[in-house]
Amino acid sequence: MSNIPESSLIPPEDTYIMADCQHEVYEAETYVYWKNEKGVTVSLCPDCFWDRIRNLPIDEVAQLMGCDYETVERR
């Protein structure tokens, strides 16, 4: 048997906050404020933020990033 104590799976309460997406955001992590479909600003953890970005149409992301884009059209 080992005399090394097992680490707790529950982090200390003061090292994270609960974002509006109901996920924990830990100390030194960045969270994002996002205006939802109803115009209400909510806080998102990094994973939920990237999920929302991935679900945006590519032309919208390109515009937000200042990129040019084109749509392929049949000749």
Helices (H), 1-75: 46-54, 58-64
> Confidence class of residue 68 from pLDDT cuts 50, 70 and 90?
very high
Give yes or no for a contact between 33 and 42, defined as CB atoms under 8 angstroms apart.
yes
The answer to whether the predicted template modeling score (pTM) of the entire model surpasses 0.85 is no
Residue 51 has what pLDDT?
A: 95
Mean pLDDT over 66-75 rounds to 93
* Domain parsing of the chain, residue ranges: 13-64
Residue 7 has what pLDDT?
A: 61
